[in-house]
Amino acid sequence: MLFDTHVHLNADQFEEDRDETIQRAREAGVKYMTVVGFDRKTIPKALEIAENDENIYAAVGWHPVDAIDMTEEDLEWIEELADHPKVVAIGEMGLDYHWDKSPKDVQKEVFRKQIALAKRVELPIIIHNREATEDIVELLEQEHAEEVGGIMHCYNGPVELAHKCIDMNFMISLGGPVTFKNAKLPKEVARSVELKHLLVETDSPFLAPHPNRGKRNEPAWVSLVAEQIAELKGLSYEEVSEITTENAKRFFGIRA
């Protein structure tokens, strides 16, 4: 049994075969999924998908690339949606220094506002990080994000900072990159971080794991992530699957 903690089934890439994709995931042993919405288009779709499946949940937030587009009304809307029974986290939020659509200061402001929101609604946060690891950790410390905790989504930073995040009440989530042959950092993190602090994800339709790299990713392939972690840690696939699933259920407050 697996829990894909970060999937974008609400993306246009799944418009033609979403039901079939979910079925393939079930057949691969993926019982639970969290669909992440991050703007005005993807948030309602994430909720719709979650409402139609008892084992699919939703996260709602605002992506840092589009931080410049977020209004106070959007923030209020996200806060209202936090009361939805299938919403288990706020995000994805964070910093993205790869793209230049939103200035860094705007990204940081929106990030801070969403952390404050998460504290008000008492939900954990999901962190998007691209080329901004040190700034993200610093901001999480400044805003005392440990009060709600969260997930370092598709973590690709150094081992030392992974442990610093764990000390701040964050889980480390690994996705497709841990399977890439040249991905040294995720493999080091997988070896170093105790299993009780790890989650697995796909970030579908992005970052498909080896040997499917370059294809449209899908939640069934989270099994390849769990297999790689098991190999790196010298554990059984069954143990990694069971413990990461229990980690995710505990983190999201899911009792089913």
The percentage of the chain sitting over the pLDDT mark of 90, rounded to a whole number, equals 99
Give per-residue pLDDT as tens, 5-31.
999 999 999 999 999 999 999 999 999
Average pLDDT, the chain: 97
The dihedral sign for the CA sequence 97, 99, 103, 107: negative
Say how far apart CA 254 and CA 182 lie, in whole Å: 35
Length of the chain: 256
Cis amide leading into 219 (omega within 30): no
Give per-residue pLDDT as tens, 143-192.
999 999 999 999 999 999 999 999 999 999 999 999 999 999 999 999 99
> Residue for token digits 């996200």?
78
Give per-residue pLDDT as tens, 43-82.
999 999 999 999 999 999 999 999 999 999 999 999 999 9
The percentage of the chain sitting over the pLDDT mark of 70, rounded to a whole number, equals 100
SS3 249: helix
pLDDT band of residue 255 (cuts 50, 70, 90) is confident
Which residues share a beta bridge with 94? Answer: 128
**Tell me, what's the pLDDT at 136?**
97
Say how far apart CA 189 and CA 163 lie, in whole Å: 9
Measured between its terminal Cα atoms, the distance across the chain in Å is: 13
List all residues 6 or more positions away from 182 whose beta carbon is below 8 Å from its beta carbon: none
What is the token pair recorded at 166? 């764990």
Fold of 2-252: TIM Barrel (3.20.20)
Say how far apart CA 256 and CA 250 lie, in whole Å: 10
> Residue for token digits 């009792």?
255
> Residue for token digits 């801070």?
112
Give per-residue pLDDT as tens, 25-40.
999 999 999 999 999 9
Which residues share a beta bridge with 172? Answer: 152, 198
pLDDT band of residue 256 (cuts 50, 70, 90) is low
Residue spans of beta strands (DSSP E) within the chain: 2-7, 30-37, 56-60, 87-96, 125-130, 150-152, 170-174, 198-200
Half-sphere exposure of 110 (CA within 13 A, CB side): 33
Residue 22 has φ and ψ, to the nearest 5°, of: -65, -40
Cβ distance 35 to 21 under 8 Å? no
Cβ distance 176 to 221 under 8 Å? yes
**Which H/E stretch holds residue 31?**
strand 30-37
> Residue for token digits 């084992």?
55
